[in-house]
Amino acid sequence: MPLILCHSPKGGTGNSFVAAHLAMHLAAKGHEVVALDFTYQDALKLSFGLLPGQALAPYQGAPGSGLAVAGVELASAWGAARDPGFATALREGRSPFSDRKVHIADVAAGDRDMKDLLEPHALLRICTLLPQPASLAALTKVQADTPALELTRTLFILNQVDDTHRFSRHTHIFLRELLGERLLGSIRRDEAVNEAAAMFEPVSKYAPASAALSDLATVAGEIETRAGLEGGTVEPA
């Protein structure tokens, strides 16, 4: 029951976008994937090309209960996140992710309680940052009372990089020096991403030659490797 937790300390970094494309990448590689939207905004489905009004089935912990899109089983976990029984199981070390599928959890920046409950069950935590001062300042908030450099299972992605802008370019250099191999890579800023969202289409359909899409594939492949998922799913140690 591999779980990959996607959570950033600052909202608006593209966390849901990264989670969705990670799920699609793993599904395309032959993994059985469940993407769980723990957010009230219910935005994860938009990256799959679904309409805002399209309701997702609530996550019930049973395989096959969600809507299948692009080979990924999509489910809303907002209700589960508010279920005392679900929280109790997590606190007691009982994982609700009982089948052999890979679970991708999209958790809102402000929902630190759910992040803290899920993190002990996760193989990896993926933290998406932006080349902006507020996002960099949030590095001190990745985990309370623990420096980001000491979070061995937390990996970082720099989203919306624009090398024509000096601050963006220097941010990339700074994070590479600070985080080393724990910076998985960067995703270039590409207006096709916003255009696809406005058209309610996945980027892969709207702009298959998108630079951001290419970068996402590279980053997702690196996550697959770091999680030990190449050649099949694994159970966390």
Give dist(CA 131, CA 129) in Å, integer: 7
Q: Which residues contact 184 (CB under 8 A, 6 or more apart)?
A: 126, 155, 156, 157, 219, 222, 223, 226
What CATH architecture applies to the domain 3-226? 3-Layer(aba) Sandwich (3.40)
Check: CB of residue 161 under 8 Å from CB of residue 131: yes
What is the model's pLDDT at position 237? 37
Per-block mean pLDDT, blocks of 10 residues, the chain (237 long): 91 96 96 95 94 90 76 94 90 82 95 94 96 94 83 94 96 95 96 94 95 96 91 49
Radius of gyration of the chain (CA): 17
Check: CB of residue 69 under 8 Å from CB of residue 139: no
Instruction: Quickly tell me which residue has 């250099």 as its tokens.
Output: 173
Residue boundaries of the structural domains of the chain: 3-226
What is the model's pLDDT at position 64? 63
What is the model's pLDDT at position 62? 63
| Six token digits for residue 214 | 């290419």
Cα dist from 36 to 33, 56, 57, 65, 189, whole Å: 10, 10, 10, 12, 26
Give dist(CA 163, CA 155) in Å, integer: 22
Distance spanning both ends of the chain, measured CA to CA: 11
User: Sign of dihedral through CA atoms 164, 205, 12, 4?
Assistant: negative
